[in-house]
Amino acid sequence: MDGVFAWLAQLGASIPADVAFWRQAPSEAALAIVAWVSALTYFLIPAGIVWTAWRRPDLSAASRFLAAAVFLFSFAFAVWQLSMPLGKAFVFPTPDALAATSVVAGLVWLIMLWVLLKRFVTVPSVSEFIAARERAEGDLDVERQRADEADMLRSQLERTLIDKTGELALTSSRLDTCLRGAKVYLFSQDKDLRYVGVFGPRGEDAGAQMLGRTDDEILVAPERDAITAIKRKVLEGGEPAEIEAWYEMPEGKVLFALYVEPLKNLDGEISGVRCAAADITRIRSLEGEQRRLAEELRNALHRYEIALRGSNVTVFTQDRDLRYTSISNAFLGRRVDQIVGLTDDDVVPVSDRDTIVQLKRQALSTGEPVDAELRLKGPAASRWYDFHFEPLRDAEGGVVGLTCAAVDITERKAGEEHLRLLMRELTHRSKNLLAVIQALARQTSRNAGSLDSFLDEFSARLQALSRSHDLLVQEEWHSASLLDLVRSQLGHYIDRDQSQISIKGPPVHLKPEAAQSLGLALHELAVNAAKYGALSVSKGRVDVIWEESEADGNGIVIRWLEHGGPAVERPKKHGFGTMAIQRNLSRSLEADVDLNFAEDGVSCTITIPQNHLFAAAAQALKA
């Protein structure tokens, strides 16, 4: 400091001594006080500047940096000033340079102080204060509005939290009820498969017994090994898995479906497993019963389909629009796959459509079954069906369509028609038979010598007529075999130990009227041969032969030939037998009859026209 004053004294050497008081040597105490005051000033003023700069938020970062630099510079200079009084022994090698540096530093410090103080002492105007206050008030209103919104949002969040908490509690309660009703167990385990959480439908006591224990302590083999293996697989692979296993419960062994999935922490690492075990014992039992019933139903349906395919019954269903939804057999010339999906407009012939549709609509509208017998035209011929239409109802009892059964009764109708024809024919033939019987009685009575003779002859002729009728009944009155007819009329003589009759001829069937007339003629020939001809002696023989007519190829020729009997005498009068052979055959069958009473034996040739032969017999003769 002495050097500074010395340097300043040199600058003011030209000043008179009485005026330049500083040229006088100061005392040591004064110099120490001056040094400490200067140092304190260098320290306090920059410290105040820095404190003010940091209290002014409106100053820029550059101004604050400048204030800090001034403080550091002043602080360093103050420390140097304070060290001067303590080091009197220190001698500056270049007091002039040091003095100059002190002056420059002081000037720099004054300049920087002037810049900072100018910034610090700048006071805003009244308008700026008002604008700043308005801005502050606006910012305060905005903050208040934001605070109100925050309060409202907080209230809404609190209400929402309360509502959601209630919903969560309700949902949790429902879930618990559902799990208990479904007999589902939920539990979680750590990596060591030790139970850390358990929920069971049996209550908390059952779950508490499992907490802290492992599967090895609870389960038994072999289910334990399988369950443990699947859980460790989930722990290692991180993929869910399922398994079914039996577990011993107080009520017995129960089958559980176990679903296992990995349990992860917040970092996504697997920390254990979460499991759900559902009691499926009843389900599996019902599934087994369902499979058994389904198998029985399948077998029943199979038998039902076989029965329908082998019968004349067709079962089908239709919706309310009369569209076929199913059908068991082909119907009206269409296959099953050609009918399903179609309506009666596509399947039923036009001529019968209105009738059958009206019956079905009646069943749909009234809800009552409807029965009807209808004749429908088919692709080849018309067929009769016995229809049963019944409403098809859903689970609520509403009519959703029709189920129908159509029984093909064509053969029954044909049988009924044939029966009616037979009844008419029977009536007609009964009248004819009565007429024949009446004629037999009348003619027999004319030639009978006594009542006993009448009864014997009349009874024999009725039996002959009856045998012809038996053959016709066996063939449903369609025809009678000529061979059977000959055997039936001559059976009494054929059944002897040594038969005297020979029968030969191709298969021929006669119509009913021809069979009756020819049977009675054969009876009369046999009776005559037994009384007067070849059958009256043991050596006599009778040949009955028939063949196709050689004259025109139409009809047959039947020959009755007797030989080996007594000599034949021509009868003086013609009785009932001659009339039955000649006149009856000629008139009823338009047959040519040649009855010859030759001395060596009676012969009779009967030619029956083609129109009295059954059609099959006529074809056989031509073949």
pLDDT (tens digit per residue) in 507-531: 999 988 888 888 888 888 888 888 8
Threshold 0.85, pTM exceeds? no
For the ranges 18-22, 120-124, 171-175, which has the lowest average pLDDT? 18-22
pLDDT (tens digit per residue) in 244-274: 888 777 777 888 888 888 988 888 888 888 8
Q: What are phi and psi of 70, to 5 degrees?
A: -60, -40
Instruction: Find the mean pLDDT for residues 444-465.
Output: 77
Instruction: Find the mean pLDDT for residues 200-219.
Output: 74
Enclosing H/E stretch for 420: helix 410-447
Is the pLDDT at 557 greater than 50? The verdict is yes
Ordered by start, the domain boundaries in the chain are 2-120, 183-279, 311-408, 461-622
Distances (CA, A) of 397 to 57, 265, 393: 88, 56, 5
More confident site: 132 or 535: 535
Q: Is 325 helix (H, G, I), strand (E, B) or coil?
A: strand
Looking at every residue in the chain, the average pLDDT score rounds to 78
Mean pLDDT highest for which of 14-18, 268-272, 498-502?
268-272
CA 207 – CA 200 distance, rounded (Å): 6
For the ranges 111-125, 390-404, 590-604, which has the lowest average pLDDT? 111-125
Say if domain 461-622 classifies as CATH 3.30.565.10. Answer: yes
As given in the structure block, the two tokens for residue 97 are 């340079």
Q: Is the dihedral of CA 594, 599, 602, 605 positive or negative?
A: negative
The CATH H-level superfamily of 311-408 is PAS domain (3.30.450.20)
Please give the pLDDT value at position 620. 47
Q: Are strands 313-319 and 399-408 parallel, antiparallel or unpaired?
A: antiparallel
| Common-topology check for domains 183-279 and 311-408 | yes
pLDDT band, residue 545 (cuts 50/70/90) = very high
pLDDT (tens digit per residue) in 369-417: 999 888 888 777 888 888 999 998 888 888 999 989 888 888 888 888 8
Q: Is 265 helix (H, G, I), strand (E, B) or coil?
A: coil
**pLDDT above 70 coverage of the chain, percent:** 75
Please give the pLDDT value at position 263. 86
Is the pLDDT at 20 greater than 50? The verdict is no
CA 514 – CA 498 distance, rounded (Å): 30
Please give the pLDDT value at position 92. 43
334 strand-pairing partners: 331
pLDDT band, residue 95 (cuts 50/70/90) = very low
Axis crossing angle, helix 61-83 with helix 95-120, rounded to the nearest 10? 140
Looking at the domain 183-279, which fold is it? Beta-Lactamase (3.30.450)
Please give the pLDDT value at position 125. 53
Q: Taking every pair of C-alpha atoms in the chain, what is the biggest distance, in angstroms?
A: 228
Which burial class, exposed, middle or buried, applies to 564 when counting CB atoms under 10 A from its CB (0-12, 13-18, 19+)? middle
Instruction: Find the mean pLDDT for residues 18-27.
Output: 49
pLDDT band, residue 93 (cuts 50/70/90) = very low
- What are the b/e assignments for 160-197, b being 16+ CB within 10 Å? eeeeeeeeeeeeeeeeeeebeeebbbbbebeeebbbee
Instruction: Find the mean pLDDT for residues 343-370.
Output: 89
Spatial contact of 519 and 467, defined as CB atoms under 8 Å apart = yes
Please give the pLDDT value at position 124. 57
Which burial class, exposed, middle or buried, applies to 390 when counting CB atoms under 10 A from its CB (0-12, 13-18, 19+)? middle
Is the pLDDT at 148 greater than 60? The verdict is yes
As given in the structure block, the two tokens for residue 247 are 């577990």
**pLDDT above 90 coverage of the chain, percent:** 7
Mean pLDDT highest for which of 261-265, 281-285, 443-447?
261-265
